[in-house]
DNA sequence: AAGCCGAGCAACCGCGGTTCG
DNA sequence: CCGAACCGCGGTTGCTCGGCT
């Protein structure tokens, strides 16, 4: 027996949060701490369901949230972690201090996926495509197994070399050494050439308990 | 100036897993 | 052990804004 899903069914507020609502939530959590979201929404005087309160706090109001563009090293880490973990956004975000799973997920879907596609890399399985980037790309079901494969990528160097820069959005492409190294390292990670793909990851991330 | 379109992001929804009585 | 209540995650939706025509 599930609890009622969301706010729409009980006439509570939906949509964007107002400044007053934010302030109420912040004030209440400052006083009483996080947790027990159901009672929190009532006790704080918020006409919102617990999920809405929790989401707002975790994704937006928390004081330790880092806002703004993702740095290059953050991008690299997301890509590597995604190759390793798949769509486990909370785990990926857990390795990025100040970033939320929602933010990482949005950034992946809006920016990084496109970058990888432009690089000729399938963002679902992190393999190189076997055709040029501008050609139509077959959609794969989400959640397909992560595969960092060494197979058959020897003819695909053009795909990666033809790619635009792997850079933060809004900046003009300049080929500085960092970007070139990033690109090269990730291509190596994709192809499995030279070394094990994830050697440059701190492997203790994989199964470290919180 | 107005309308269109796409990108980015916040919020919603539905489900699986966990806890507790 | 069982079921209700709750938590947290991941996918999706829809709103806003900026660029373009």
Identify the structural domains of chain A with CATH numbers, from first to last. Answer: 7-61 (1.10.10.60), 72-205 (1.10.10.60)
How does A156-187 read in b/e, with b if 16+ C-beta sit within 10 Å?
beebbeebebbbeeeeeeeeeeeeeebbebbb
Rounded, the Å distance between the CA of A153 and C1' of C21 is 42
Contacts of A40 (CB under 8 A, 6+ apart): A28, A29, A32, A46, A50, A53
pLDDT in tens, A1-23: 434 434 444 456 777 888 888 88
Rounded, the Å distance between the CA of A139 and C1' of B21 is 47
pLDDT at residue A53 in the model: 87
pLDDT at residue A151 in the model: 36
Residue in the structure block whose two tokens are 């470290």: A208
- State which residues of chain A have pLDDT below 70: 1-12, 129-210
Q: Which nucleotides of B are covered by protein (CB under 7 A)?
A: 7-17
List strand B contacts in A 97-116 (CB < 7 A). 102-103, 105-107, 109-111, 114
Point out the residue nearest to C4 (C-alpha to C1'): A1
List strand C contacts in A 169-198 (CB < 7 A). none
A102 touches strand C (CB under 7 A): yes
Q: Which nucleotides of C are covered by protein (CB under 7 A)?
A: 3-12, 15-16
pLDDT at residue A131 in the model: 53
pLDDT at residue A46 in the model: 80
């Amino acid at each position: 027996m599930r609890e009622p899903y969301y706010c729409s069914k009980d006439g509570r507020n939906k949509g964007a949060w107002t400044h007053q609502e934010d302030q109420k939530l912040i004030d209440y959590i400052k006083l009483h701490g996080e947790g027990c979201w159901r009672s929190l929404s009532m006790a704080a005087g918020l006409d919102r369901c617990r999920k809405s309160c929790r989401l707002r706090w975790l994704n937006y109001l928390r004081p330790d949230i880092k806002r703004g563009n993702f740095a290059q090293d953050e991008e690299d880490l997301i890509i590597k972690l995604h190759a390793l973990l798949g769509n486990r956004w909370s785990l990926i975000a857990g390795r990025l201090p100040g970033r939320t799973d929602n933010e990482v997920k949005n950034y992946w879907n809006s920016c990084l996926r496109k970058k990888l596609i432009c690089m000729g890399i399938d963002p679902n399985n992190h393999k190189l495509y076997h055709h040029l980037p501008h050609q139509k790309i077959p959609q794969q079901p989400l959640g397909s197994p992560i595969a960092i494969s060494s197979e058959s990528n020897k003819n695909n160097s053009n795909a990666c070399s033809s790619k635009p820069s792997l850079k933060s959005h809004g900046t003009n492409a300049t080929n500085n050494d960092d970007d070139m190294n990033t690109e090269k390292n990730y291509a190596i990670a994709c192809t499995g050439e030279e070394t094990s793909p994830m050697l440059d990851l701190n492997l203790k991330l994989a199964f470290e308990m919180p």
